[in-house]
Amino acid sequence: MNGWQRAFVLHSRPYSETSLLLDMFTEGEGRVCILAKGARRNRSPLRGCLQPFTPLLIRWGGKGAVKTLTSADAVSLALPLSGTVLYSGLYVNELVSRILEQGTAYSSLFFDYLECLQTLAASEYTPEHALRRFELSLLSHIGYGVDFLHCAGSGEPVSDTMTYRYREEKGFIGSLIIDNFSFTGKQLKDLSQREFSDIDSLKAAKRFTRMALKPYLGGKPLKSRELFRQFTRPVSQININKPDERLV
């Protein structure tokens, strides 16, 4: 049996008539698959706390791939995510669940994840900055190495006004071609610092993280992205008789 660890529920699904199977992100052991026996019973003390975005202290036991939850306490109320920000939180959870392998510690990333959720909960404006910072942090922690500050061809520092084209597994190379793979030196500097000084740099960050994350996500679409599209689609465009099968 392990000691107490800070944790969040990434995803849960019913298991048998009374239990839950949880995909959890823990401070000390990364992603862990945990069975919460009896958590769906009406009188279970676990029923209310095993929810996404609720900071938890948990203990578990077992030696197999699926552990058994022995204790769980909510450290505080769930972080208040609603509307667009809720879908942003679901997106972050899905990234962690799909990209991180189980049983590998990502302690620093855990706190970046916590900071991202706290920023989303406190934000009155666009969640874009928090999402781009977390995506870049995630890429860094899984070993995705790219030098934003030097031209991969010459080794020279990037210039604000020059254009550089991204080449997978090589980096950014000076180019006159302007397309979806092209970035200015100023945009690359913002990516390196994870600070986005204007809308242009923020859009460039989104382009880059989508390209960089794609090999890790494979061809399966993100459910959170599809849910967000449903959420933002005008009512007149929704066909209630034709559900989107990708959400299932």
Give the per-residue pLDDT at 148. 95
Mean pLDDT over 212-218 rounds to 90
Q: Are strands 182-184 and 163-167 parallel, antiparallel or unpaired?
A: antiparallel
Mean pLDDT over 208-233 rounds to 83
pLDDT digits (tens, 9 = 90+) for 159-180: 999 999 998 878 999 998 899 9
Mean pLDDT over 37-56 rounds to 91
Cβ(2)–Cβ(61) below 8 Å:
yes
Around 223, how many Cα atoms within 13 Å sit in the side-chain half-sphere? Answer: 10
Residue 237 has pLDDT above 60, yes or no: no
pLDDT digits (tens, 9 = 90+) for 53-79: 999 999 999 988 999 999 999 999 899
Mean pLDDT over 143-154 rounds to 91
Give the per-residue pLDDT at 118. 95
Residue 244 has pLDDT above 80, yes or no: no
More confident residue, 198 or 244: 198
Percent of the chain topping pLDDT 70: 91
Residues in CB range of 179: below 8 A, 6 or more apart? 165
Question: What's the pLDDT band for 243 if we cut at 50, 70, 90?
Answer: very low
Coil, strand, or helix at residue 74?
Answer: strand
Residue 239 has pLDDT above 60, yes or no: no
**Count of residues in the chain:** 248
Mean pLDDT over 175-194 rounds to 94
Interatomic CA distance for residues 190 and 25, integer angstroms: 29
CATH 2.40.50.140 fits 5-74, yes or no: yes
Prediction pTM value: 0.87
Give the per-residue pLDDT at 212. 93
Give the per-residue pLDDT at 210. 93
User: How is the chain split into domains, by residue range?
Assistant: 5-74
